[in-house]
A and B are shown apart, each in its own frame.
Chain A
Amino acid sequence: MNQPEDWTLIIEPKGKLLSLNLKELWRYKDLLEMYIKRDIVTFYKQTILGPLWFFIQPIFTTIVFMFVFGGLAGIPTDGIPQALFYLSGITLWNYFSDTLTKTSDTFLQNQAIFGKVYFPRLIAPLSITMTGLIKMFIQFGLFAIVYIWFFMKGVDVKPNIYALLFPVLLLILANLSLGFGIIISSMTTKYRDLKFLITFAVQLWMYATPVIYPLSVMQGNYEKYMWLIQANPVTAVMETFKYGFLGQGTFTWLSLGYSLLVSFIVLFLGIIVFNKVERSFMDVI
Chain B
Amino acid sequence: MSDIAIKFENISKQYRLGKIGTGTLSHDLKRWWTVSVRRQEDPYLKIGAVNDRSLKADSEYVWALRDINLEVKQGEVLGIIGKNGAGKSTLLKLLSRVTTPTTGRILSKGRIASLLEVGTGFHPEMTGRENIYMNGSIMGMNKAEITRKFDEIIDFAGVAKYIDTPVKRYSSGMTVRLGFAIAAHLEPEILVVDEVLAVGDAEFQNKAIGKMQDVSNEHGRTVLFVSHNMAAVGDLCKNGIILHNGSVVKTGSSREVIAAYIESAKQIAVQREWDQNENAPGNSDIKIRKVHATNKKMDIVQYHLTTSDICIEIEYEVLRDIPFFTHGMNLYNASGIHIFSSHDSNNYHRDKIIKRGVYLTKVWIPANLLQEGDYLLSFAAMRYNPFSVLFHEKELLRLQVLDTINQSARPEDYKLEFPGVIRPKLIWEELVELSS
Contacts and interface: CB of A to CB of B under 8 A. Distances in A.
Interface of A: 3-14, 27-28, 30-31, 33-35, 37-38, 41-42, 45-46, 112-119, 190-191, 279-280, 282-284
Given A46-B125, A190-B24, A13 B102 contact: yes
B16 A283 contact: yes
Given A118-B98, A119-B140, A283-B16, A11 B25 contact: no
Contact of B137 (A6, A10, A28, A41): A28
5 contacts: A7-B108, A10-B108, A12-B100, A116-B117, A117-B120
B15 interface: yes
Given A10-B105, A119-B140, A284 B20 contact: yes
Given A10-B108, A41-B126, A116-B98, 11 more contacts: A4-B1, A5-B107, A7-B107, A7-B108, A8-B111, A11-B107, A38-B126, A41-B125, A42-B123, A46-B125, A282-B93
Interface residues of B, number: 47
A33 B121 CA distance: 15
B407 interface: no
A162 B187 CA distance: 52
Nearest to B25: A191
B264 interface: no
Contacts of B130: 37-38, 41
B114 A6 contact: no
B34 interface: no
B100 A11 contact: yes
B80 interface: no
Contacts of A4: 1
A42 B125 contact: yes
B156 interface: no
Contacts of B133: 34
B66 to A, nearest CB: 15
Contacts of B93: 282
A119 B140 CA distance: 7
Identify the interface centre among A9, A41, A279, A280: most chain B CB within 10 Å of its CB. A9
Contacts of A28: 137, 140
Contacts, number: 119
A117 B134 contact: no
B120 A113 contact: yes
Interface in B187-205: none
Contacts of A283: 15-16, 99
Contacts of A38: 123, 126, 130, 134
Contacts of A112: 120
A30 B140 CA distance: 9
A116 B120 contact: yes
B120 A118 contact: no
Contacts of A34: 133-134, 137-138
A280 B98 CA distance: 8
Interface string B233-262: 000000000000000000000000000000
Interface in B25-55: 25, 28
A200 B9 CA distance: 48
A107 to B, nearest CB: 13
Contacts of A37: 130
B107 A117 contact: no
Contacts of A12: 100-101, 105
Contacts of B137: 28, 30-31, 33-34
Interface string B1-22: 1101000000000011000100
A11 B94 contact: yes
Nearest to B99: A282
A117 B105 CA distance: 19
Contacts of A8: 108-111
Contacts of B153: none
B418 to A, nearest CB: 35
Nearest to B145: A30
Nearest to A192: B20
B112 interface: yes
B169 interface: no
B217 interface: no
Contacts of B106: 9-11
Contacts of A30: 137, 141-143
B107 A42 contact: no
B123 A113 contact: no
B116 interface: yes
A127 B15 CA distance: 31
A127 to B, nearest CB: 11
A116 B126 contact: no
A42 B112 CA distance: 30
